Structure 1
Amino acid sequence: MTAAPGHVLRGMAMGVAEVVPGVSGGTVALVLGVYERLVDSAGHVVTALRLSVTGRWAEAPAELRRAHWTTVVPVLAGMVVAVLVAARLLEPVIEDHPVGARAVFSGLVLVSIVVPARMVGRWAGRDVATALLAAVAAFLLTGLPPAGEVDPPLPVVVLAAAVAVCALVLPGVSGSFLLLTLGLYGPTLAAVNDRDPGYLAAFALGAALGLGLFVKALQVALHRHHALTLALMTGLMAGSLRALWPWQDEDRGLLAPDDGALPVLALAAGAGLAVAVALAVQARLERRAAAGAPVVQGSPDR
């Protein structure tokens, strides 16, 4: 599933994840194998914009050509479609069946942690320490009580979007969850459903600012400290599971399982099994592709 239709489906999965509080679009991108290409492409776009703003127009096109547009364009198309549909359909499901929804999402994320953990390779002591600190930070963040929803002024929307969009490219951190914590989740979904031009323009501006400030640093981190960055992401994903514990009160306090726990646990197990099967199939397809790839004469051994 490497052609454009496959990338559209990946983008749709990411878009749905971004609408669900507690589930990270970056996590989905990492699991589906497009995370580093998307971050790398975003970094090139940010660099091209910086070159244009500083008057170095001639260098900007070359930077734009370095982005993986055959991946980025279909992924973005899939995300836009999924966000518009999920904002309309998924919100009632989450509101009407919060325990079951969190159970499914927890199973998905729990098994998905294996993806960045395996990409780290051989874990060093600093990798373990980084993952533990990230897990604790994510656990504490996801325990913050939600703020009351208000009709926010547009400057607040810009700032909130700049913060929330960082979660789009940071596995384990949910942008929707951050909006919920800031009290802007409901107003943002309403703006998407109502096609509110002022709110959406302010949100887009904040998202652009957040990406411009954050993505380049993340791109550098992945290139220079690959294992350590992936260890950080592993910890963030693990700690974020607190937000997906099925039984919670209105202030996000954790509760003990109730009498109907067995079906809920079955949902979580089924979701986790589905991810495990998908990962196994993907690994098998990658092995087959690697075995059938032609050997390039004179290429260095890796």
Structure 2
Amino acid sequence: MGAAEVVPGVSGGTVALVVGVYERLIDGAGRVVTALRLALTGRWAPARTELNRAHWPTIVPVLIGMVVAVLVAARLLEPLVEDHPVGARAVFSGLVLFSIVVPARMVGRWAGRDVAVAVLGAGVAFLLTGLPPGGDVDPPLTLVVPAAAVAICALVLPGVSGSFLLLTVGLYQPTLAAVNDRDVGYLGAFALGAALGLGLFVKALQAALRRHHALTLALMTGLMAGSLRALWPWQEEDRSLLAPDDGALPMLALAVGAGMAVTAALLVQARVERRAAAALPAAPGHTDR
């Protein structure tokens, strides 16, 4: 997830959804937000109860992995994307395209409104990912805070890339530079904005998953599909799309290869889940027929 968030156009929320930890992370983030709100009003016992209900065996390893990956990816992935943009986008497009099946299957039986919401989400993502990038400038910290609040929402929303949003408003390069240079002031402002964004957004998303589970997942499916526009390998710097060039076949091979890797991972995950389910003891009163 951390590596994905460093690459514009790739969503960390998508990665969480594909590997099966998305809903646990959203639930945990919602409980942390609730615990902080209770603690601010002096209700310490309920706050501790909320914290204890979060799935920390999932949250802690994910957070550690993300921090390490962001630090490493900021050094490695960003130059790779700059030096080989077409190939990088081809790989990422294959990863996202073949991953769309994950939220689509979680919807279950698609109703007409699910399809409509998915199409709407795809259209919105397509339009947003076509916005021209902003200029890279030395941004004031007062701009960093709201930008981080918006970008962190993309972290928990599959199909939307936080790095891509930062790139759109011209804060992608300054943020990578701040990570690499350990700019405490910039990173502190970014962390403040991220905390505010999560606090405002994650509870709404948690409620949506609880009350309108299929509809929310249908929206996520559409967002993932629409975001593929950002990963079309052949683009101008202003993000206008180009026709494939003479090197289209190798790029197609990269995309298909990345997609097959995702498919293989999903098949392995499904097999592990089936074996785990088969190993569970039968419920009381259950008899084989």
Which TM-score bucket, shorter chain as reference? over 0.9
How far, CA to CA, are the matches of 1:225 and 1:249 in structure 2?
39
1:33 aligned onto 2:24: no
Which residue number corresponds to residue 266 of structure 2? 279
Map of 1:190 onto structure 2: 177
Question: How far apart, in 1, do the equivalents of 2:134 and 2:159 lie?
Answer: 21
Whole-angstrom CA distance in 1 between matches of 2:155 and 2:166: 12
Q: Does 1:102 align with 2:103?
A: no
In 1: Cα distance, 2:37 partner to 2:187 partner: 24
Residue 291 of structure 1 and its aligned partner are, at CA, apart by 1.0
Q: TM-score, with normalisation over the residues of structure 2? A: 0.98
Identity across matched positions, percent: 83
Structure 2 SS opposite 1:246: coil
Structure 1, unpaired ranges of 5+: 1-13
Which of 294, 299, 302 matches 2:281?
A: 294
Query: Scaled by the length of structure 1, what TM-score is found?
Result: 0.94
Matched, 1:90 2:82: no
Residue 240 of structure 2: aligned partner: 253
**In structure 2, what is the equivalent of residue 157 of structure 1?**
144
Cα deviation, residue 55, structure 1: 2.4
Structure 2 unaligned runs (5+)?
none
Q: How much has 1:52 moved relative to structure 2?
A: 1.1
Partner residue of 1:267? 254
Whether 1:173 aligns to 2:160 is yes
* Count of residues in correspondence between the two structures: 286
RMSD of the alignment, in Å?
A: 0.9
Superposed CA deviations along residues 168-205 of structure 1, whole A, max 9, x for unmatched, are 00000000000000100000000000000000000000
What amino acid maps onto 1:189 in structure 2? L
SS in 2 for 1:76: helix
Q: How does 1:218-257 map to 2 (within 5 A)?
A: 218-257=205-244
Alignment of 1:192-207 (within 5 A): 192-207=179-194
SS at match of 1:171: coil
Secondary structure of 2:282's counterpart equals: coil
Pairwise CA distance, 1:298: 6.3
Q: In the alignment, what sits opposite 1:4? A: none
Deviates more, 1:52-61 or 1:220-229: 52-61
CA distance in 2, matches of 1:26, 1:158: 21
Q: Deviations over 1:141-185 (max 9, x none)?
A: 000000001101111101100000000000000000000001000
1:59 to 29, 32, 46: 46
Q: 2: CA distance between counterparts of 1:177 and 1:147?
A: 11
**Equivalent-residue separation in structure 2 for 1:77 and 1:285 (angstroms):** 24
**Partners of 1:154 and 1:53 in 2: how far apart?**
26
